[in-house]
Amino acid sequence: MAVPSPAVDGRRSRRRRVRTAALVTCAVLALGLAVLPHPAITVPWFVAPLQSLVPVLSLVAAVAAVALTVARQRWAALVLGAGAVAGLVPALVPMAPPAPPASPAGSAASDGTGELTLLSLNTEYAGVDPTALAAAIEEYGVDVLVLLEADEGLVGDLRTRGALEGLPHRTDQIPDDPQGGPAGGAVILSAHPLRSEGVAPRFAGYRHFDQPVAVVQDPGLGPVRVVGIHPVPPVGPDFVPSWDETLRGLDGWQSGQTDLPLVLAGDFNASEAHPQFRALAEGFTPAAAAGGPWPGPTWPVGSWVPPFTQIDHVLMRGLVPQDYRRLTLPGTDHRGILTTVTAGGSTDGG
């Protein structure tokens, strides 16, 4: 029987060490990726921004797992692939409930059988091209327009272009110096009569943006409460606690708004990978559910970094989304969310 030479033993030993190192490294990375979407913490502050990257990190891990398979590191590849799946699952958009049956032709206009088309957009400091936005409003027949990071100059530009002739009703005037600075201005405009309910309560201690609340009297659906959502971005040790407090506060506030169908629309600065957002969204149907489990990112647009996270949402309770579209408009780093909704189930909070 041949005895392996010292050189052969050395090569085998090195391969075992490489396999062990690869397996241990992949196990640590997989565990981190599987756990990352779950802690609802604000310290250390960089956890929230990392959670925004979960889909990207899962994709990178999946590619690395394929490379490890080719390199015959199958156990390491299996462990890393499992971590990628475990991290990605919480970031997937829940399935939409079945749509209600179509209304018979000629049915009454005020019996809850109508539909409403809503467009929500963060205008990036009112920098969106008003001509492009006006064209989108006309093309898609928008009934309710929710604008974040807006100002009265943008509203005036839209009016000059005739875009607001079909949206004559609105919430209160945007202050010249809104809460939270230039990013804090917001407005809801409607084709149907609208009753402003002011702004949502202030939940954050350090920094917050105004979040307008209005009841839109849709002729087909009846009254629908619409809220323009905009927490501060979760970047930095001061902003992250305010972001967290706003999302948690909204969750508590919405649970008391059960008298009418409710729509939360805007820039949540949070994705399905954030547990605070998932808690808030529980009991709601996201418009993105009409676009499948991975409807695509909404931010950042027009940057050297390609869009990688979905932080712009339309959530609804008591209504059902019939479609979902992301609109890319020049002048803003956010994609707009366009959806048409019809009557749905219960308005009770989750």
Per-residue model confidence (pLDDT) at position 95:
64
Stated pTM of the model:
0.91
CA Rg value for the chain = 24
Question: Is the per-residue pLDDT at 106 higher than 60?
Answer: no
Average pLDDT of the chain, as a whole number: 91
Look at residue 115 and tell me whether its pLDDT is greater than 50: yes
Q: Does pLDDT of 105 surpass 60?
A: no
Phi, psi at residue 241, to the nearest 5°?
-60, -40
- Express each pLDDT in 252-287 by its tens digit: 999 999 999 999 999 999 999 999 999 999 999 999
User: Which pLDDT band holds residue 1 (cuts at 50, 70, 90)?
Assistant: low
Q: What are phi and psi of 34, to 5 degrees?
A: -70, -35
∠ CA(53), CA(255), CA(86), 5° rounding? 30
- Which residues does residue 48 pair with via DSSP β-bridges, in sequence order? none
pLDDT score for 196: 98
pLDDT at 101 over 60: no
Report DSSP letters for 202-266, one per residue: P--SS-----EEEEEEETTTEEEEEEEE-PPPS-STTHHHHHHHHHHHHHHHHTT--SS-EEEEE
Q: Is the preceding omega at residue 241 within 30 degrees of 0, hence cis?
A: no
| Per-residue pLDDT at 100 exceeds 60 | no
Q: Of the candidates 120, 170, 123, which has an alpha carbon nearest to the alpha carbon of residue 151?
A: 123
For residue 53, which phi and psi values (nearest 5 degrees)?
-90, 5
